Amino acid sequence: MLHLNRNRRTMLGVAAAACTTLLVSGCSNSSSGSEPATASLEAGQLLTHSALTTAAALPSAASTQLITYVSEGADGEPIVVSGTVAIPSTPEPAGGYPVISWAHGTSGFADACAPSLDTVDGPVHGYFSVATDYLDTWVAQGYAVVQTDYEGLGTPGGHTYLNGTSESNTVIDIVRAARQLDDSLGTDWLVMGHSQGGQATLFAAQNGPERAPELNLKGAVAMAPGGAAIPGLIQAIAAGAQVPAVAGAFLPVIVLGAQAAVPSINPDALLTDAAQPLLTTARTGCLAQLSAAEPVPSDQLIRPGADLAPIVDYLKKQNPGAVTPQVPTMIAQGGEDTVVSKLEVDGVADELCKVVPVDYRVYPGQDHRGAITASEADTAAFVAAVMAGDEVASTCS
């Protein structure tokens, strides 16, 4: 049955991708065989849906649906994106269920790394299961939970990893698509995310109100938001500096993601011959496979004399500390995080505090994933406050 579901998902994605022109003809808005429609594609338009019962479904939900929908890619063109929609089993409140749009952390570059494809023996189940357990507590409390796969994960095209605009588009537009799927969803929503998703969350906190004015974005929770230190990391690697071993696992995903957004960036020209096996693994595997691959010394990752300006300039534009959130914002960070360091996120919080109030919480002793669960009580209090329209705390000096 799982094999059948995956094949069906692939067919739905390809069929939906065929509809990404300014005018569509013969594209069904449902996988259940409804009459074809002819209309202009719009961001947030629901394309297909089908029931999901794999590990990607939230256990406490009344139902979880796999969907495809229209969004806008890094190049400004329409794209097809996949994701999931979990509907609560609690009674529908007046005004409809509030929505949490979850932005996931780094899983990899290949299609198999999409969270909606997660299985109990999947390549990134160890990470996704943490997020699933966390999000299940929200659906049990009466929040609809939607999760985008982002551009190019599980659908045609490359994954534009760390492109803040594309990520935020997909995070915002899945809320619109989910409301077409089920009219029990209200207009109030929150954006939350971890790591890569923390970066996406901050971009969505900036872009959400203007992109989707028909919705009411109440607040944003960014956990261990990454991206700010990556341009400097690449420059340090090229200069021969010793960097954490984890950099070797992330670097292929970073350069492939940059190429997906800016095709003139050439990963093969940036990375050494010794690092080419890592690129091959990244094109077909996920972060877990990269982490398990034969490590390459950091001073042997980037080709001597490689032109770093295009990728560094591009990545500087993806800095989550350079956005201006339009809604109350909380940041949660593990004090012992070695993937996205506290020092990096301190800098993000300091930059954001120059333009908006931020509630920045640090959890001593917690690692990268630990920030998700360690922040639960503070996040719950923050969400309760913004949903009630109350003033939230600011830790900006």
Other C-beta atoms lying within 10 Å of the C-beta of residue 393: 15
pLDDT above 50 (res 1): no
CA 215, 220, 223, 226 torsion-angle sign: positive
Same domain for 246 and 207: no
69-102 pLDDT per residue, tens:
999 999 999 999 999 999 999 999 999 999 999 9
Residue 155 in domain: yes
Is 78 strand, coil or helix?
Answer: strand
Q: What is the CATH number of the domain that holds 215?
A: 3.40.50.1820
Question: Which amino acid, one-letter code, is at 269?
Answer: A
Residue 350 in domain: yes
Find the domain containing 343 and state its range: 42-227+323-388
Residue 28 in domain: no
**What average pLDDT does the chain have?**
91
pLDDT at 192: 98
367-379 pLDDT per residue, tens:
999 999 999 999 9
72, β-bridge pairs: 78
Same domain for 246 and 341: no
Residue 37 in domain: no
Q: How confident is the model at residue 242 (pLDDT cuts 50, 70, 90)?
A: confident
Last residue of a domain, one of 261, 284, 316: 316
Q: Which residues contact 299 (CB under 8 A, 6 or more apart)?
A: 237, 240, 241, 242
pTM for this structure? Answer: 0.92
Helices (H), 333-375: 342-353, 370-374
CB environment 311-350: b (16+ within 10 A), e (fewer): bbebbeebbbbbbebbbbbbbbbbeebebbbbebbeebbe
Q: How confident is the model at residue 244 (pLDDT cuts 50, 70, 90)?
A: confident
Q: How many domains does the chain have?
A: 2
Same domain for 84 and 195: yes
pLDDT above 50 (res 4): no
Same domain for 222 and 244: no
Q: Decide: 152 and 113 in contact? Cβ < 8 Å.
A: no
Helices (H), 23-149: 125-140
Same domain for 279 and 175: no
328-348 pLDDT per residue, tens:
999 999 999 999 999 999 999
Same domain for 156 and 49: yes
Q: How confident is the model at residue 382 (pLDDT cuts 50, 70, 90)?
A: very high
CA distances from 73 to 112, 158, 169 (A): 20, 10, 8
Same domain for 171 and 156: yes
> What integer is the mean pLDDT of 266-270?
97
Q: Which residues contact 91 (CB under 8 A, 6 or more apart)?
A: none
pLDDT above 90 (res 15): no
Q: How far apart are CA 392 and CA 371, in angstroms?
A: 20
pLDDT at 18: 45
Q: What length does the chain have?
A: 397
Same domain for 299 and 154: no
Instruction: Look up residue 152 and give its two tokens.
Output: 């190019």
101, β-bridge pairs: 146, 191
Q: How confident is the model at residue 29 (pLDDT cuts 50, 70, 90)?
A: very low
Q: How confident is the model at residue 40 (pLDDT cuts 50, 70, 90)?
A: confident
Residue whose token pair is 């991708």: 17
Other C-beta atoms lying within 10 Å of the C-beta of residue 231: 19
Q: Which residues contact 156 (CB under 8 A, 6 or more apart)?
A: 13, 14, 17, 80
Same domain for 304 and 379: no
Same domain for 346 and 248: no
Residue whose token pair is 């690692």: 367
Q: Looking at the chain, which runs of residues are DSSP E strands?
A: 23-27, 37-40, 46-51, 63-72, 78-87, 97-103, 144-148, 185-194, 216-223, 329-334, 358-363
Residue 15 in domain: no
Out of 10-24, 32-46, 181-195, 311-325, which region has the weakest mean confidence (pLDDT)?
A: 10-24
pLDDT at 245: 81
Q: Which residues contact 292 (CB under 8 A, 6 or more apart)?
A: none
Q: How far apart are CA 384 and CA 151, in angstroms?
A: 31
Same domain for 355 and 302: no
